[in-house]
Chain A
Amino acid sequence: MLDLLFPFFVGCGLLFLFLLVKGPSIWDRLLFLNLFFIFMLLTIIVYALMVEIDYLLDIAIVYALLGFIGIVFTARFIQRKGKI
């Protein structure tokens, strides 16, 4: 069952990468980047459960945190036009 989930999440991630490139403005790109992080997080978790390796889930935790911090400070940087 997990084997069916894995390509779905990878496909959604690639779809959001395509939308990220196409997005009209920078704010849309940030939003699609945020969604790309979510689907990559799900891909890591499903892969970790498929191959039964536990420490991959720690990588998923760190990935979620770094994704959040990246989004927050990029949005702050853009909103204040360079003066954080």
Chain B
Amino acid sequence: MMEIFKLIGATLILSGIIFQFFGIYGIVVHRNFFVNLSLSSLIDSAGLFAILIGLIFYNGLNMASLKIGFIILLMLLLNPLSNHILGRGAYLSNYHPQRRAKK
């Protein structure tokens, strides 16, 4: 029975890493700030939560998993807020990055 949970955890962690890899590749390629902002929220939400939920499955139900669950709840609230504040601050202080010339 425990092997199934570890398997579910491992697949969740792998999917989280794949999401993060797409986000990181996109951030390295794109120079535009607002595109990077949406990619960073992809990394925050899709990658982070899949990995943390996978760690809970992988670790079984004990005290550590309770703390990881609390971190998940915390990140659920804080990450969208920090991305919004960054985007709003950049837009209001009229930071408009120039479109990169197509090669």
Contacts and interface: CB of A to CB of B under 8 A. Distances in A.
Contacts of B86: 27, 30-31, 34, 71, 75
A60 B55 CA distance: 14
Contacts of B68: 45, 57
Interface of A: 1, 5, 8, 12, 15, 19, 24-25, 27-28, 30-31, 34-35, 38, 41-42, 45-46, 48-49, 54, 57-58, 60-61, 64-65, 68, 71-72, 75-76, 78-79, 81
B48 A42 contact: yes
Given A79-B92, A79-B93, A68 B27 contact: no
Interface of B: 10, 13, 17, 20, 24, 27-28, 31, 33, 36-37, 40, 43-44, 48, 51-52, 55, 58-59, 63-64, 67-68, 70-71, 74-75, 78-79, 81-83, 85-86, 88-90, 92-93, 95, 97
Consensus secondary structure, chain A interface: helix
Given A1-B58, A24-B97, 19 more contacts: A5-B17, A24-B31, A25-B97, A27-B95, A28-B36, A31-B36, A31-B86, A34-B40, A38-B44, A41-B71, A45-B68, A54-B63, A64-B75, A68-B81, A75-B85, A75-B86, A75-B89, A78-B93, A79-B89
